[in-house]
Amino acid sequence: MIDISVKNLTKFFVIGENLLDGVSFEVHEGECVAILGRNGCGKTTLTRMLAEHYGWIPKYEAVTYNPYLEDYYKDIERWSYNLETYFLAQRFQDLIEISKSDDVIVQDRTILEGVHIFVANNKAMGNLSDRDFDTYMHLFNLMMSMVHEPDLLIYLRRSVPTLVSQIQKRGRDYEKSISIEYLSNLNERYEQWIADYKGKVLIIEADDLDYEHRPEDFSHITDKIDAQLYGLF
């Protein structure tokens, strides 16, 4: 059954680049498992492994293609609105594709995190003006009226020292300037949001897990997922 039909949707950005251009879609009730967590927690690795294990279709966050990312970490206040709005459009397009799919999708980060964690944190830190925040939330609420939230959230909980270690290991240049204060603020927001979330959430205590290299750790995670998914879809 088709719930909503949208045709030729276009969203322009201030620099003249189209974020959404002529998008047409029909929204169906889809099935989606989403992996949540901060930078360096292992979302992308777990997304890939779960897709291979269950035969799900992976949907990765396109970090490489955000033209504002490097500038953002150099000057967060200047580039917050640009970066977050670009991510919002990308994640909305992901939700459109997920809603159209007949397959089970496993998603690396969701549109919900962008709003309730990163945008909320930037607003609290003074990096977003009231005007920019209100505009962003108007776009978000409009988008969420057209799609549904994931069927299951899997939250990879890691401490700040572990996250710092993981970020240093993978050596992405644009992440080198991330401060401990910034990571700590995100950590607190994740914990509060997860505690208040009303949908299905599976929390994985991941500090001592190496699921990429230890099969028993990966089995620990899949056993928990199997228990959550039984009767879900």
Which domains, from first to last, does the chain contain?
30-229 (3.40.50.300)
- Rounded to an integer, what distance in angstroms lies between the CA atom of residue 160 and that of residue 40? 10
- Rounded to an integer, what distance in angstroms lies between the CA atom of residue 209 and that of residue 195? 22
Angle, alpha carbons 32-42-58 (nearest 5°) = 30
Choose among 203, 199, 190: nearest CA to 113: 190
Q: Tell me what percent of the residues of the chain surpass a pLDDT of 90.
A: 48
Confidence of residue 233 (pLDDT cuts 50, 70, 90): very low
Active-site residue flag, 226: no
Choose among 82, 80, 93: nearest CA to 20: 93
Choose among 170, 167, 147: nearest CA to 159: 167
Give the start-end residues of each E strand in 146-190.
152-157
Confidence of residue 46 (pLDDT cuts 50, 70, 90): very high
User: What is this structure's pTM?
Assistant: 0.76
φ and ψ of 22, to 5 deg: 65, 35
Choose among 147, 156, 163: nearest CA to 225: 156
Q: Which of 71, 103, 108, 210 is catalytic?
A: 108
Tally Cβ neighbours within 10 Å of residue 151. 19
Q: Give strand pairing partners of 26.
A: 5
Given this model, what pLDDT does residue 148 score?
A: 85
Q: Is 208 helix (H, G, I), strand (E, B) or coil?
A: coil
Average pLDDT value over all residues in the chain:
82
Checking if the pLDDT of 195 tops 90, the result is: yes
Worst-scoring range by mean pLDDT, 176-185, 206-215, 220-229? 176-185
Confidence of residue 202 (pLDDT cuts 50, 70, 90): very high
Alpha-carbon dihedral angle through residues 62, 68, 72, 77, given to the nearest 10 degrees: -120
φ and ψ of 34, to 5 deg: -115, 135
Amino acid at 137: M
Q: Tell me what percent of the residues of the chain surpass a pLDDT of 70.
A: 79
